[in-house]
Amino acid sequence: MKVLVTGGLGQIGSHVAEMLLERGDEVLAIDNLATGRREHLADHPKLRVVIDTIADKGVVDGLFEDFKPDAVVHTAASYKDPDDWYNDALTNCVGGANIVDAAKQFGVKRFVYFQTALCYGLRPQQQPIRLDHPRLPGSSSYSITKTTNEYYLELSGIDYVTFRLANVVGPRNVAGPLPIFYQRLKDGKQCFVTKARRDFVFVKDLARTVLRACDGTGQGAYHFSSGTDVAIAELYDAVVNAMGFSGDSKPQAEVKELGPDDVASILLDPSRTFEDFGVLEFTPLQTTVSEAIAYYKQHGTLGEYTHLRLQDKK
């Protein structure tokens, strides 16, 4: 199989690309290095890496015409700054539309997309959230633009799977609380946690499921979720443990109320996923966090991005 992976040097894209290469597929990865890293993918005879932007329609069409992919795994996304509407729209809307349009034009057989759970809004009407929940993405530029591209995909008529995601964590994770906790603890700074709860899923568990989607399992929208959420404080404790703090040296986190753009709980109902893909095995949180910390110790954290406005950047 020939697979084009957008955002191929990012967390999800690079793990998917590695697994595709391991089983003998050809991979074309494109990334603009906004949050991806070239070292995430080692050189391989069946890998081609292009450093460029999917917002350039000429580049995108040329890659599709030359490579002729059987499948597309579209992980590329802009999310570094909640106020950077321009780049969010440029990458997620214009770039995403370019990828969907080229996939349609060049006869791609399978398209795998990734959607944020924030598409359901900051105050979900269901708990856990089912797939029939209305999409209410107006809370952030990131969710607006990611949902816009999901609509383009649905409009295209392409055979697709879209995974609406729980919090994907593990090695190469450069956004969200996990890298922030690590960097602050490493620098001797105090962390804070909110009273929020999240479902944290291991990136390699997701990547294995993506390969099955590339091969034809499933159709339409799915929740990639374990179906169980944990407190952010539990994630913090797992980071502290992985970094080797113990006894009196264990730093305590300050507990803060939720910010205005944060959600108390995002718990997705994975029923349809388990029906079509089978009941999935999910890696324990401490194992997931320990692998991520090992990565940070080797490569650093690349800026600790979050689509949320941090209450404390000191």
Q: Is there a cis peptide before residue 128, judged by omega within 30 degrees of 0?
A: yes
Of the candidates 142, 160, 182, 295, the residue annotated as catalytic is 142
Report the distance separating Cα 126 and Cα 173, nearest Å: 28
Angle at 196 between CA 308 and CA 267, to 5 degrees: 95
Report the distance separating Cα 307 and Cα 141, nearest Å: 9
Report the distance separating Cα 203 and Cα 197, nearest Å: 19
Residues in Cβ contact with 264 at an 8 Å cutoff, skipping those fewer than 6 apart: 195, 196, 197, 258
Note whether 239 and 183 are within 8 A (CB): no
> Quick check: is 151 catalytic?
no
Q: Hey, which residues are catalytic here?
A: 142
